[in-house]
Each structure stands twice: as structure tokens, then as C-alpha cells.
Amino acid sequence: MLYIALRDCFVYDVFRRKGETYELPDGVEINPKNFELAEKQVAVEEKPAAKPKPAPAATSREVAPDAPKNPRELNPGESLCGECGRMCKSSFGLQSHMKVHQPK
């Protein structure tokens, strides 16, 4: 019978890799932690695939070079970098970001 290895393991002196399909001899004692019947695995794979995730939208941290410096009103607690226009969610975040603009 065909079995799928659920984890890397040895059967006697032969190494079996996780995810690979193997024809095991009839006399081999099959540990359910190591192997599963291939028919069960096929049934699991036939489930409908998950919908693809949409591309992530630009976050408030990313600023396009030609974007206006203040495209929207700032919420309380948000700060805008005077050098590059990056939106920081707190004044501490702005202080930390300003280290990027310091000469080395």
C-alpha cells in the first residue's frame, strides 16, 4: 500500500522524508505518527483552495516621492516627518524615525 510520511523518520535502515509517498512492505508496523494512507491524503488535498489574498495596500508609513506632504488630516497623536513626509503614529515614533536623517 502507498503511505505518505508525516515526518522525517527511519523504517528499518531506510530514511523517509516528510511529504514523500512510499510503498511499504506488508510486514512493516506502521506508526500513525509517521505514516498515513495515501488515499486519506488525496481526500484532504481535494478541498477547495483558499481564496488568494489581495495585494497589501500601501500603509501610512510608506510615502511616495511625488505624494503631497499631508494627504489627509492627522489623527490625534500622529506626527509627520518634516524631512520625508513619513507618518508616525506617535511622537516617540517620530523621534526614533528622525535618527534615519542624522548624518553618520
Q: What is the pLDDT of residue 76?
A: 77
Write the DSSP string, 32-72: TTTEEEHHHHHHHHTSPPPPPPPPPPPPTT---TTS-S-SS
Q: What is the pLDDT of residue 29?
A: 82
Query: Quick check: 18 and 6 in contact, CB under 8 A?
Result: yes
pLDDT (mean) for 51-74: 58
What share of the chain in percent tops pLDDT 70? Answer: 67
pTM for the model stands at: 0.36
pLDDT digits (tens, 9 = 90+) for 14-40: 888 888 888 887 787 888 888 888 876
The whole-angstrom separation of Cα 61 and Cα 78 is: 11
pLDDT (mean) for 75-90: 81
Q: What is the pLDDT of residue 32?
A: 84
